[in-house]
Structure 1
Amino acid sequence: MSVWSGKTKGGVLGYSIFIFFLKNFGVGPASALLYLVVPYYVLFDPKSSRISYRFYKERLGFSTFKAAKHIFTNRITFGRVLLDKFAMMTPIKERYTFDCDGEERLHALGETGKGGMIITAHIGNWEIAGQLLDRLSTKIHVVMFDAEYQKIKNLVSSQLGNRNFNVIAIKEDMSHIFLINKALKNGEILCIQGDRFLSGAPTLELDFLGEKALFPKSVFDMASRLKVPVCFAFAMKDKGMHYKLNSSVAYEGMKSKELAEQYIKLVEQKVQDYPEQWFNFYDFWKK
């Protein structure tokens, strides 16, 4: 079974160093620092590097050289995406630009009065869409695993201030269910990733990039059971400080498996268009 630990890699010290460079020297110098850090992770995390190599070689059909090159490119891009996330919590955010295909669909999602869901994935950089979320009249709740959330919560709050959206942390005591239902009852929007699950969680086995893979059943069950409109949205990093945001049409009244299949089609397309922005660093297809 493909297992994700529920935690994002990277220590608090590492985040602190990059935040220091970002705040004092800007995005450019902080990005340049990645060229010193990334080779270390590529060399001293061979398991992750092998997994990425197989992803590019076997799933996307890259040549040996291209697959090896993309391991490095992928890690550099991931670092830049993290820096952009931090930068979006500072005045630097005004320098970022983005195109949005389907913004009106997200506005419509928040105007139904019955709430809605945005399902995204660990590709690109969803948080960079904060500028767009600010323009939505409806409150946004980002649902994420508690371990992933708590790791840098205090650091980010103390260094950069609060996020411009609310976080609902998925906890073992299931208290997040009450918060999710309350948000939807208030006609608000939930944003959640649909491509990761913890060991023991219910899954859907579906075709993804030519082979069966497991996806979290609870995400799509929730969307189907609560009978709220669902959009799939992705924010992909372009050149420099520019992003491309895309939102699907709203799906409603679909069974969980049908909804998941629609989601996977869009994720496949994004991965093929932006292979360097696939940020699942574990064996996604292992069962």
Structure 2
Amino acid sequence: MPKHFLNIPVAYKLGIKWAGYLPTFLSYAISRSIADISYVFYKSAVKNVKQNLRLVFPAFSEKKLSCITRSLFRNYSKYLIDYGRFAHLQKSAVIGQIACYKGKENLDAALQMNKGLLVLTAHLGNWELGGIFFGSYGLKTNVLTLRDENPEIDTIRKWYREAYGVKTITVGDSPFSPIEMVRALNNNEVIAMLIDRYHTGSDSITINFFHKPVPFPRGPFILSRLTGAPVVVAFVVREKNVYKGIIKGPFVVTHENEEYEILEKVVKILEDTIVMYPDQWYNFIKI
């Protein structure tokens, strides 16, 4: 399964160690050069990204898709620089990186239900910053994740999240993890998860995603039905030199036959957001 070549322990360690000390403009300049080199040599990821973008923009020329893909590589390298920079900031300063919110009232409506919160997002923008943001509401935040092929990456990410009070729940590590999720929601906690990559073997619902049948995890919708927890779709995207929060929903699954209907709404939101920010959709794996 191809991954971006910067998604290795040494890149995270160097980024966290040095990004906070170098001037931001210099860090971004270095990241741009690295991104351009990786675009040239990391051909499998470039191919996968272009194939994914072809689903989004079927009428675009190869030249246009190449332009978006190169921009995506540069933005991903910039994301990693910010990942490192934020490690040197206080929690309040990190949260302050989000300059504005679109749909904050949607989040407030979901929180008023006092049923916990299911946050669905994607490999779009800065999803780690989103997890820290939800913690700023004074809610205990849990991030669901799959085990990385490299356990050192898992350790670094877990340490990073815990520094901001975000707990990591690794799916598949324990048969009791679903019980842990239900307990968290019953305690009015937040569970956040990425849904734009399907984990083989897990329960799923297949739905058209940019006109292609794609399996999406069923788990969050089952959790909503069992606990009454509302579902929101949230992203933290970069616009020029600042971050912007986007929050849609809330949705609540009350019957099993509503799972597909609400997933359709979630996928439509995901599609619309990818169309708006295609060069921030860091999915290096073919859909």
Name the TM-score, length of structure 2 as normaliser: 0.86
Task: Work out whether residues 123 and 277 of structure 1, in 8 Å CA contact, stay in contact via their aligned partners in 2.
Answer: yes
Q: Using the TM superposition, give the Cα deviation of residue 104 of structure 1 relative to its aligned residue in structure 2, in angstroms.
A: 3.0
Q: Using the TM superposition, give the Cα deviation of residue 172 of structure 1 relative to its aligned residue in structure 2, in angstroms.
A: 3.5
Supply the AA of the counterpart residue of 2:243: Y
Match in the other structure for 2:136: 135
Q: Deviations over 1:124-152 (max 9, x none)?
A: 11222356324313222111113279543
Match in the other structure for 1:45: 42
Change (3 A) 1:147 1:228: same
Task: Work out whether residues 149 and 169 of structure 1, in 8 Å CA contact, stay in contact via their aligned partners in 2.
Answer: no
How do 1:1-287 residues align onto structure 2 when only pairs under 5 Å count? 10-60=7-57, 61-91=59-89, 93=94, 96-129=97-130, 132-147=133-148, 150-155=151-156, 162-240=163-241, 242-254=242-254, 255-284=258-287
Q: Using the TM superposition, give the Cα deviation of residue 237 of structure 1 relative to its aligned residue in structure 2, in angstroms.
A: 1.0
CA distance in 2: counterparts of 1:186 and 1:103, whole angstroms: 22
Would you say how many aligned residue pairs link Structure 1 and Structure 2? 280
Supply the AA of the counterpart residue of 2:201: G
Task: Work out whether residues 117 and 230 of structure 1, in 8 Å CA contact, stay in contact via their aligned partners in 2.
Answer: yes
More displaced, 124-133 or 186-195? 124-133
Supply the AA of the counterpart residue of 1:46: K
Change (3 A) 1:179 1:234: same
5+ long unaligned stretches in structure 1: none
CA RMSD of aligned residues (A): 2.8
CA distance in 1: counterparts of 2:101 and 2:161, whole angstroms: 26
Task: Work out whether residues 100 and 244 of structure 2, in 8 Å CA contact, stay in contact via their aligned partners in 1.
Answer: yes
SS at match of 1:283: coil
Q: Deviations over 1:242-286 (max 9, x none)?
A: 1111111211135221121011100110011111011111110xx
CA distance in 1: counterparts of 2:117 and 2:4, whole angstroms: 27
Change (3 A) 1:185 1:7: farther
Supply the AA of the counterpart residue of 1:191: A
Change (3 A) 1:8 1:171: farther
CA distance in 2: counterparts of 1:150 and 1:105, whole angstroms: 36
Q: Using the TM superposition, give the Cα deviation of residue 238 of structure 1 relative to its aligned residue in structure 2, in angstroms.
A: 0.9
More displaced, 150-159 or 91-100? 150-159
Task: Work out whether residues 194 and 216 of structure 1, in 8 Å CA contact, stay in contact via their aligned partners in 2.
Answer: yes
Change (3 A) 1:112 1:131: same
Q: Deviations over 1:52-71 (max 9, x none)?
A: 22233353132221111122
CA distance in 2: counterparts of 1:31 and 1:206, whole angstroms: 38
Change (3 A) 1:156 1:261: closer
SS at match of 1:215: strand
Supply the AA of the counterpart residue of 1:40: I
CA distance in 2: counterparts of 1:260 and 1:249, whole angstroms: 12
Q: Deviations over 1:66-105 (max 9, x none)?
A: 1111221111111112222332332263762421012233
Task: Work out whether residues 223 and 256 of structure 1, in 8 Å CA contact, stay in contact via their aligned partners in 2.
Answer: no
Q: Deviations over 1:194-221 (max 9, x none)?
A: 2222222232221111222221222333
CA distance in 2: counterparts of 1:260 and 1:187, whole angstroms: 22
